[in-house]
Structure 1
């Protein structure tokens, strides 16, 4: 990944990159785009988009504009052939070079840049592009060509000086907001798509940064004959002038669809004269926005006039003729190229694992902070239960320590939620672009977590186990490690499941905390299993992973250990060693109803619970598209 290419190699492969994007897609058109949704109150169909037509040609940038609620995001998603929102009924005719193409073929021809920058902050700019190339390009594209494409895009987007700079995390500062938008665009262009969709590419940026981003996209489009469609909200005059065409929407209908330089003249012809030194984008948005008008009736009459004027205009007829002319020169689908989403599943899984490991050891939020938290917990536990003597007075203290070690280790898995949500947001974007599915993502997530969780288990156990004076034998220590490791695997799997189900940090945090509180209550420590309420015992106790960890640790500590009774030989637990003023640990286990011959069964149940959480998480990811 760090290998450098010679100038000749870069020129050679960049030339091939440029050739791939030339003359493959001449036009992208859409006719009769209609979208309706059922009104919740009247239960009748409500129009979101009504009879939208348009066309973009190679090398052109189209701005999709309109007031909030005008339908521009819905239209952009329809044009990009994204899965429609629940309950949205869509009718449309979409053509590439006058031809209807399959969804798979269309995804190979296009890329979509989300409004939010779904980037991993712990990766550098160059690594971000490298992994985008590994995930999206077929194996036929060689290593040197991948690097050449990356170098070409870094140069095209002015990111060469930031190539080895981190994207940025909440703890480590990285590149600027404008540079992040450029990285997002560049990562989608790595496959040399023919059509690029941008959802609010200037969102959250100032006017200078907005101009910078659109300017770089324009240069790429002109250089490689890309078709670019971008939804954008009230750009500055300089940014607006970078676009070739404008599709203006209001209340789901077309108000204007044509060249940007002709906007002023068109609205002048309708009697809406644009004052000098006025931002054209701001003027026309205010003109068609009825939300803040004092006289709603007058505002809607004006809007109806603008929409009707467009439908009857010569400009609207010319758009229809342009679409018909493009369709008359239709190509067969086989003539259209495309590379995106063709990497094999094994390569994808290895790439995801590689990327996750890079992120994990660099991003302290993922595991670094958790290691520090667990070490703090280990020191606290070891010093609170410091070198407990093996007397009957300390039996309950040993039990308390076992519960504390297992329960609170699993509870602190909530710290993994932010890291997983970051990974999930990137997965949602890459899945929508057809790069890989939930199975590859879940496998990579699990494989990456295993060594870190084992490291946490070992560090915690080495510190807390010996300080607390648990049973001092090598086998006992490693059994403790086994139970704690399974505990952490189950806890993190629960975090993955809940965070997949409710991908909102505060809600996921509350849900995971509640679940861990429930498992603590029914695990068998606070209330012994045989006296636990029937409902909680049979509904929750037997699916509580903490219960099996607690049982296993209890057997590990008490099955082969004895404790001294009081000085007058009064023993708290009557066992076969009472005549020797000793308590056999098996007496403690009998009190809890724990047997010593079920360790294999408990391990199997724990592994089943871990797999169950992961499979349920996988099912949730399959069913949820956002």
Structure 2
């Protein structure tokens, strides 16, 4: 359903501090948020000299206000928003300046718990419904003192407030299954961050990709929320319409990283008239301001640069700028009581067990609804099983079938793990959601990695079982229950190891093309050194790390089986059964250098390899913050 349908009913504004959500906000009051002298400096790649992305920016915002960071592309809006939200400004950037809440400095952990950040890209899980998205946000953020009934009440209040209650049971949407509209996704993103009742909300380009009606709708909700709940909302915005522009209480206008104006929207016209740039009547003020502070798209760049520098200099000398600086510095000198300086020593969020359980539940829903995660892979592996079973069909215990049996074992072990590259896009989506939720202080790398591993095991076991049921019996491998389930075990461990490799590589390189290429390269390498193309007897010992699956399957097939030498009794492998025109399977294993009785040891080593991959993936996620 489109956005327009939601305009038929006047939106309700939720009371985020009402008693049915608990008293954990009683000491959680933010009266003002100020910052002074914020400067971000990076080293220029060409000149190797220091360059300011933003320079000496100060500001002061009161509770209940909606503030816009506005300016032309590349002016530093997102950089400033990230600095205000205490996120990484840029790679290798040096940040100067201070920010204060109620006139006091607070640590980053406390700041994360009182704030939320809605990114420009909607990092939502498309296979969840709108209501499920908010429910899981509540489960992973609200403290244990808030009961399940109270959490559900809060979710319902937000659905009503944002006009998305009619879409509560609609999927957010995936590339395969259509879901809610772009404007509704924006509202879901904001609503999911309001579950925790943040006192400061940062919005990065909340109207990006929306038409003017949807943009006005989203910002109208933000305005009502700020007023009714005494929130501070700071949004970077590019080119709002006139009606959207007038919703903001204050505007911080930037150009080339410097302030051109900061103050109430009602004072903009008088200020720019005073400095010689009156806003023409019947003109969108936002468009006019962006035009006069931009020097990138103009015929006379020198003239435009001179104009912009004049506007920046006029603001630096203006009484309004001095008032902002004095106000911020004055708040920083305020002597606050201990309760104010520790205003975020409220109840902690949910414990690691509850967060992990919520992540498992969410991942389970995603796994069976999103066909990209495991559905397509199950179909792909079943096709691989039919291919293998029909190519190597009914191989008998005779010496002319020994090599085809070895070939089939190699195909089953190598290509099953190689096709794990199909897991890359699914994990990239999970990783993007994790990065957003971790940045908002919901949970760390440990619950994410644990839930990711646990939720994948039953699906990988199902894939291993279905693949084996088809391929094992069609190819006529050793016909015994023990041998069949040993084969299943090796396929399962092989898949878990391959998927763990995907997690490790993608945790380091969260780019689809790079991750896909590296995983394919690694799996191709393991195929080459797995023991089939080069036997372990002549393989460089350095490359024997991933030969355990192939040799385990070889031992499973040949250790207890006897093969006939044919009518002419010319045995390809000489064993103690040669006088009987038979080949003992251990003779085949000896040519490869494989010993029997080591299945448990090899399986244990493979489990260790899986653990190392997962550990390295955890380290990569723990150290990498983006």
TM-score band by shorter chain is over 0.9
How many angstroms apart in 2 are the aligned matches of 1:298 and 1:178?
39
Counterpart-to-counterpart distance in 1, 2:229 and 2:344: 14
Q: CA deviation at 1:542?
A: 2.1
Is 1:92 matched with 2:94? Answer: no
Does the Cα contact within 8 Å between 1:137 and 1:340 map onto a contact in 2? no
Equivalence for 1:569:
569
Residue number in structure 1 paired with 2:541: 538
Residue 100 of structure 1 and its aligned partner are, at CA, apart by 1.2
Deviations 1:395-440 (A, max 9, x none): 1110011010111111111111111001000100111111111111
The yes-or-no answer on 1:145 pairing with 2:161 is no
Matched, 1:384 2:386: no
Which has the larger displacement, 311-320 or 455-464? 311-320
> CA 1:197–1:338 in 2, change beyond 3 Å: closer, same or farther?
farther
Counterpart for residue 532 of structure 2: 525
Higher mean alpha-carbon deviation, 252-261 vs 38-47, is at 38-47
Equivalent residues of 2:71, 2:77 under 8 A apart: yes
Equivalent residue for 2:413?
A: 406
Once residues 503 and 341 of structure 1 are traced to their aligned partners in structure 2, the CA distance between those partners, rounded to angstroms, is: 31
Q: Does 1:580 align with 2:562?
A: no
> How far 1:506 moved relative to its partner?
1.4
TM alignment of 1:299-448, pairs within 5 A: 299-323=304-328, 326-327=331-332, 331-332=336-337, 334-335=339-340, 336-337=343-344, 342-448=349-455
Indicate the SS of the match to 1:524. coil
Q: Which residue of 1 aligns with 2:200?
A: 195
SS at match of 2:263: strand
Corresponding residue number in structure 1 for 2:622: 622
Of 292, 307, 316, 2:297 maps to: 292
Q: Quick one: structure 1 residues 12 and 414, their matched pair in 2 at CA, closer, same or farther if it must change by over 3 Å?
A: closer
Match of 2:457 among 450, 454, 470: 450
- CA drift of 1:317 comes to 2.6
Following superposition, the deviation at residue 23 of structure 1 comes to 8.4
- The answer (yes or no) to whether the contact 1:136–1:339 under 8 Å persists in 2 is no
- 2:229 corresponds, among 221, 224, 231, to 224
Q: How many angstroms apart in 2 are the aligned matches of 1:52 and 1:428?
A: 28
Identify if the C-alpha distance between structure 1 residues 82 and 12 changes in structure 2 by more than 3 Å, giving closer, same or farther.
closer
Q: Is there any run of 5+ residues in structure 2 with no aligned partner, and where?
A: 1-13
Q: Which residue of 2 aligns with 1:104?
A: 109
Instruction: Give 1:328 deviation, angstroms.
Output: 6.3
Residue 590 of structure 1 aligns with which residue? 590
- Number of paired residues? 610
Shift of 1:180: 0.7
Q: Secondary structure of the residue that 2:74 maps to in structure 1?
A: coil
Matches of 2:17 and 2:285, distance apart in 1:
41
Q: In the alignment, is the contact (CA less than 8 A) between 1:109 and 1:339 conserved in 2?
A: no
Whole-Å Cα distance in 2 between the matches of residues 375 and 278 of structure 1?
63
Aligned partner of 2:510 among 495, 503, 513: 503
Paired residues of 1:107 and 1:340 also in contact (CA < 8 A): no
- What are the Cα deviations for residues 479-508 of structure 1, in whole angstroms up to 9, with x where unaligned? 101111100110000011111111111111
The answer to whether the Cα contact below 8 Å between 2:34 and 2:103 also exists between their aligned partners in 1 is yes
Q: Map Cα deviations across residues 558-601 of structure 1 (whole Å, 9 max, x no partner).
A: 01111111211111111111111111111111111111122122
- Contact 2:134/2:192, CA 8 A, preserved across alignment: yes
Q: How far off its partner does 1:269 sit?
A: 1.8
- Alpha-carbon distance change, 132 to 491 in structure 1, aligned in 2, over 3 angstroms: same
CA RMSD of aligned residues (A): 1.9
After superposing the two structures, state which structure 1 stretch, 202-211 or 113-122, moved more.
202-211
Contact 1:94 1:100 in 2 (8 A): yes
Structure 1 residue 11 displacement after superposition:
8.9
Shift of 1:365: 0.8
Whether contact under 8 Å (2:27, 2:344) holds in the other structure is no
**Which of 443, 463, 470 is the matching residue for 2:470?**
463
Check whether the contact 1:25–1:194 (CA below 8 A) recurs between aligned residues.
Answer: yes
TM-score normalised by L of structure 1: 0.94
Q: CA deviation at 1:311?
A: 1.1
Structure 1 residue 275, shift from structure 2 partner: 2.3
Map 1:52-71; keep pairs closer than 5 Å: 52-71=57-76
Q: Distance in 2 between matches of 1:496 and 1:285?
A: 44
Aligned counterpart, 1:600: 600
Contact 1:341–1:434 (CA under 8 A) maintained in structure 2: no
Out of 35, 47, 55, the position equivalent to 2:52 is 47
SS of residue matched to 1:86: coil
Contact 2:16 2:229 in 1 (8 A): no
**C-alpha separation between the residues in 1 aligned to 2:242 and 2:15?**
36
SS of residue matched to 1:390? coil
Q: Is the 8 A contact 1:249 1:255 kept in 2?
A: yes
1:249 aligns with 2:251: no
Corresponding residue for 1:516? 523
Contact 1:21–1:192 (CA<8 Å) still a contact in 2?
A: no
Aligned equivalents of 1:618, 1:462: Cα separation in 2: 34
In the TM superposition, what is the alpha-carbon distance from 1:132 to its structure 2 partner? 0.7
Q: Secondary structure at the match of 2:167?
A: coil
How far is 1:220 from its partner?
Answer: 1.0
Change (3 A) 1:368 1:49: same
CA contact (8 A) 1:14 1:152 kept: no
Change (3 A) 1:341 1:263: farther
| Cα distance in 1, alignment partners of residues 329 and 549 from structure 2 | 69
Rounded to whole Å, the distance in 2 between the matches of 1:77 and 1:12 is 25
CA contact (8 A) 2:22 2:145 kept: no
Contact 2:104 2:334 in 1 (8 A): no
Report SS of the residue matched to 1:531. Answer: coil
Distance, in Å, in 2 between the alignment partners of 1:157 and 1:42 is 49
Cα distance in 2, alignment partners of residues 18 and 267 from structure 1: 47
Whole-Å Cα distance in 2 between the matches of residues 314 and 18 of structure 1? 44
What is the rounded CA distance, in whole Å, between the counterparts of 2:195 and 2:61 in structure 1? 21
- Tell me how far 1:146 sits from its aligned partner: 0.8
User: CA offsets per residue over residues 195-214 of structure 1, 9 Å max, x none?
Assistant: 00011111122222211111
Aligned to 1:204: 209
Decide whether the 8 Å contact of 1:35 with 1:49 is kept in 2: yes
CA distance in 1, matches of 2:610, 2:297: 54
CA contact (8 A) 2:22 2:146 kept: no
What is the distance in 2 between the residues matched to 1:340 and 1:75?
Answer: 30
Find the residue that maps to 2:563 and give its secondary structure. strand
Taking the aligned partners of 1:46 and 1:579, their CA distance within structure 2 comes to 85
CA contact (8 A) 2:21 2:154 kept: yes
Partner of 1:4: none
1:13, distance to aligned residue in structure 2 (A): 8.1
Alpha-carbon distance change, 13 to 142 in structure 1, aligned in 2, over 3 angstroms: farther
Q: Distance in 1 between matches of 2:15 and 2:53?
A: 47
Q: Give the 3-state SS of the residue equivalent to 2:140 in structure 1.
A: helix
> 3-state SS of the aligned residue for 1:254?
strand
